[in-house]
Amino acid sequence: MPTSDAEGKDWSLERFRYHLPNTVCDVGPGEGTYAKLFRPVHHGVWWTCIEIHKPYIRKYGLKNTAKRTGMYDEVHNLDAREAPDHLFYRDLVILGDVLEHMPRGSAVTLLETIAEAGAWNILVSVPIVDSPQGEVDGNPHEAHLHQWEADDMDQVLAGLGGNVETFRGGTLGCWWWNRG
C-alpha cells in the first residue's frame, strides 16, 4: 500500500534529527510518509523522490505544479533499479517499505548500487512478519515479492560496510546505515 505502519517512525525521526541531511532521495514514497514526517524538522533540504507508479505522483501531490506545492523538489517516475546513480548521491536515501516489493536479489543489488553511488545514509524499513500482499488499487508494484527476515537484512547492510543501527518492532524492522 502507498502508506506505512507507524511503527519505527519515531526511531527513524530521531536518526534524521541527529544526521540532519541536506539532500534526500525517497524511493517509492507512495503518499509521502517520510517527507511528511521529516520535512517540518529540518528546512532547506532538497527532496528527490523516485516513484514507479505514475498515478501516485498526482494522487498524493508529490510534484510541484503551477497550482500547488508538492512534497518533493524533484520527482522521477521510474523504477529505482533503473535509476541513474547520481540520484542516489545524497546525504540520505530512504527505502521505506519498498524492498519487499522486489525479489531479494534485486533489493540487495539496489542497496549496493545506492551505497556505491555515494549515499551517506540509508534508511530501510520492511515488514519482518509474514505480510502477503497483492496488487493494490491497480498498482502491480504493490505486491510483496520477498519476505524479509530481520537477521537477513542485518547481514545485507553489514555487507555494505559502515555502521548499522537497528529497530525491531512487532511488524516492521528499520535500519539506519551510515557510511561512517
Average pLDDT, integer, range 120-136:
82
The reply to whether the predicted model has a pTM over 0.85 is yes
- Compute and round to an integer the Cα radius of gyration of the chain: 15
Single out the residue of 97, 96, 25, 30 nearest to residue 60, CA to CA: 30
pLDDT at 145 over 90: no
Sketch out the chain's domains with CATH numbers: 12-126+149-160 (3.40.50.150)
> Maximum CA pair distance of the chain?
46
What pLDDT shows up at residue 6? 79
What pLDDT shows up at residue 2? 44
Helix 150-158 and helix 104-116, axial crossing angle in degrees, nearest 10: 30
Report d(CA 41, CA 120) in Å as an integer. Answer: 19
Q: Which amino acid is at 147?
A: Q
| Structure confidence at residue 1 as a pLDDT band (50, 70, 90) | very low
Report d(CA 77, CA 152) in Å as an integer. Answer: 29
pLDDT at 53 over 80: yes
